[in-house]
Structure 1
Amino acid sequence: MRISAIRREVFMRISGAIFDMDGTLVDSMPLWNNLVRDFLMDHGIEESEELHRIMMTMTLDTSTQYIHDNLLPSLSVEELKKQIEEKVWKAYSETIPIKHGVKPFLFALRNKGVRMCVATSSPRILAEVILKRLNLIHYFCFIFTCDELKTTKNLPDIYLRAHDILGTPKETTYVFEDAVHAVKTAKSAGFKVVGIEDKSMVEYRDEIKELCDIYVKDFDDFRGQI
């Protein structure tokens, strides 16, 4: 089946959509990729490749706890969070842009009657401020966060919970993700997965393509099929 036909089939079949936010709906991964590195450099610590891989899968809460426990025990978790959150809040409330093709795609899904939600590793306060600023929040029935569910995207809990609330058939519920670990988790939980390309995951592109049911450069790739 041609790629364009597969994209058309996704749009025709879909009844529920679970969207990751960072790297999928909004172009925030450059911030996150450099945030910990820059923060640690401010404190005289160089981020190794191994440390980067460890931090990549963590939420803000778990990453600050890790930094406190392993790198900067002299700073409390609360102080670490405060310093990092100030930088993050400014970016989410003012500068992080939407990714290409998101609004037309969400508009088309809403007109089709598709139930949509967000499942994010970011804290709710960040998800809400950026989705409101970019005028996206009204497309979604609800937002789930890893912090609130006390989980990470290495586990399927957030996808399973989101699916339960959506109430759509699993075989026509699609998860939209950019990160390789999240794609693996969603697939292992039995979901159809649409991989969204993000620069932060370029080194894993081939692996993500193999895992996903469909892989797109951005949501503009659905243009002509919706």
Structure 2
Amino acid sequence: MLTNIKAVLFDLDGTLVDSMWLWKSIDIEYLGRYNIELPEKLEDKIEGMSFTETANYFKETFNIPESIEEIKKTWNDMAWDYYVNKVGLKNGIMEFLEYLIKNNITIGIGSSNSIDLVNVVLKKYNMIDYFTTIRTSCEVDRGKPFPDIYLKVAEDLKVKPEECLVFEDIPKGIIAGKDAGMKVCAIYDDYSKSLDDEKRRLADYYIKDYNELLSIFGKVQEA
């Protein structure tokens, strides 16, 4: 998996941390303030969108009176406690980051979340210094499934796309990595477990958690 790989790129939600579950709760509460019921398949429609694209979608679809910036601030405020107190790390991720650093592989993040929430969870777990660059889809023209965010991270890291391995938890993120010309490893997440077959089909690799990789790489080093 890491042969000829110079950089590993991570999504955040559902990939580094277990947090995808919280957004449905926030969507229900937020729309409830306007007496709007959560539509079926809403999560499917906004999957992969940047924070700004999602705010635009809500404003236009549900006729939200707040400005785009006000919507994003409201979501940040609503999600803050979740990320500080209720979001946990994916199993084995800290040890895997240490493994990458020790093997001179640079690490970056390409997230659809807001930079404020990305930073709060990384600081909570003292992870921020592991990453050479941290980018969000709000900084590029198009969110996932377009490859823009991962190409931007690769540019920051000064590596070619074919020298990158991406870890993702949702199909549109996997497509973004593949369309960027990168290898992609899908990771299991409870939120997207119904999409596991699609994730396996789209990705080059699939893992349940990072302990699985550590077990493999540890055996390789011992050999």
State yes or no: 1:93 paired with 2:84. Answer: yes
CA distance in 1, matches of 2:21, 2:64: 27
- Correspondence for 2:23 among 27, 32, 45: 32
Do residues 131 (structure 1) and 116 (structure 2) align? no
CA displacement at 1:37 relative to structure 2: 2.4
Gap runs ≥5 in structure 2: 218-223
Q: Which range is displaced more, 24-33 or 148-157?
A: 148-157
- What is the CA–CA distance in structure 2 between the aligned matches of 1:122 and 1:67, rounded to whole Å? 15
Corresponding residue SS for 1:205: helix
Q: Which residue of 2 aligns with 1:168?
A: 159
Of 179-188 and 38-47, deviating more is 38-47
Q: Number of aligned residue pairs: give it.
A: 217
Q: Is the 8 A contact 1:11 1:225 kept in 2?
A: no
Q: Within 2, Cα distance between the matches of 1:34 and 1:196?
A: 23
2-side partners of 1:188 and 1:74: how far apart? 36
Structure 1: state its 5+ residue gaps.
1-9
Cα distance per residue 1:65-95 (max 9 Å; x no partner):
2222221434444443343221112222333
Q: Aligned Cα RMSD in Å?
A: 1.8
2:43 to 26, 34, 52: 52
Task: Decide which moves more: 215-224 or 54-63.
Answer: 54-63
- Residue 17 of structure 2 aligns to a residue whose secondary structure is coil
Distance 1:187 1:22 in 2: 19
TM-score, normalising length: structure 2: 0.89
Letter in 1 for 2:186: G
Structure 2 partner of 1:213? 204
Cα deviation code 1:157-184 (max 9, x no counterpart): 1111211222234333101111101101
**Other-structure match for 1:202:** 193
Contact 1:183 1:193 (8 Å CA) reproduced:
yes
- Going from structure 1 to structure 2, the CA distance change for 1:166 and 1:74 (only over 3 Å counts) comes to closer
Query: Counterpart in 2 of 1:108?
Result: 99
Larger mean Cα displacement after TM superposition, 111-120 or 197-206: 197-206
Structure 1: how far apart are the matches of 2:137 and 2:70? Answer: 22
Partner of 2:221 in structure 1?
none
Which residue matches 1:147? Answer: 138
Instruction: Classify 1:116/1:218 alpha carbon distance in 2 versus 1 (closer, same or farther; 3 Å).
Output: same
1:49-88 map, 5 Å: 49-88=40-79
- Name the CA distance, whole Å, in 1 between partners of 2:159 and 2:68: 40
Deviation at 1:194, TM superposition (A): 0.6
Q: 2:9 aligns with which of 4, 18, 23?
A: 18
